[in-house]
Structures are given as structure tokens and as C-alpha cells.
Amino acid sequence: MKKVVSQFGRGPLEQKLTVGDLHFLSDADPTKGGTGSGPSPHEYLDAALAACTSMILKKYAGLKSMNPENAAVTVDIVREDDVEIFSREIKFTGNLISAEKERLLKIADKCPIHKALAGNIQIKTLLVN
């Protein structure tokens, strides 16, 4: 897995992100002091869970010869009493019977980002100079 590097951007809170040869921005909403030039860090966290979920659903459905046209995964985070609550909605389109939908719903919890967020997390911070 490639490392992510974040550096100061042009706006008051804008960050320039690099992953290998890919470059993109993160920023805060103008109501929170940013300029809105990119998704916020929480929105990237939402995106990570949504993308990982959708990827594992697509892979599993293909392996099991299921035929969904699409799986739209919507994720939102709200904070209540110092707890981050992730709400994930999955909408399948295409030709799936209810047993297939139920199986895919269980598979959604197996995505690596879901496992990381639901498990124990340690963050080690090192000063390098």
C-alpha cells in the first residue's frame, strides 16, 4: 500500500495530498474556516468506507455469479457524545433475489475498512527531522 502525504495548500486549511503519482486536495467547509476546495477529512473517511464496501460487493457478486447492475453505497458520519456513528446505506439495482441481497449485506461488513474502523486502532506519531 502506498503512503499518503499531506502538505499545506493555498487556502487557510487546504491540504495537498499525494498518493504515489496521484494528487488531490482536502479542505474544510467555508463555515468551518476552509474554502471548500476539496472533501473534508471526514468526507474522505466516508469515501473510504463507501468505496471499500462497494468494491467487496462487486468482487463477491462476480465470484458468486450474482448479477447486480450496481450497488450504491452512501456513508455519513455523525458525532454523538464523543462517539463517531457511521451510517451506511446500500441500494442494489439489477436482478437480485432477496437471499442474494441478504448475503451481500453480510459481506459488506467484511470490507477491510469496515474491519479497521470497527476494530482496535493504534496511531503512532513520530517526529522525523
pLDDT digits (tens, 9 = 90+) for 41-91: 999 999 999 999 999 999 999 999 999 999 999 999 999 999 999 999 999
pTM comes to 0.93
Give the rounded distance of the alpha carbon of 21 from its chain centre.
20
**Ranges of each domain in the chain:** 1-38, 41-118
Q: Is 101 exposed, middle or buried (0-12, 13-18, 19+ CB in 10 A)?
A: middle
Q: Considering the domain delimited by 41-118, tell me its CATH architecture.
A: 2-Layer Sandwich (3.30)
How confident is residue 30, by pLDDT bands cut at 50, 70 and 90?
Answer: very high
Phi-psi region of 81 (alpha: psi -120 to 50; beta: other; left: phi over 0): left
- The x, y and z cell numbers of residue 112, run together, are 477491510
Mean pLDDT (whole number) for 24-28 = 98
Q: What span, in angstroms and rounded, lies between the C-alpha atoms of 19 and 30?
A: 25
4-19, pLDDT tens digit by residue? 999 999 999 999 999 9
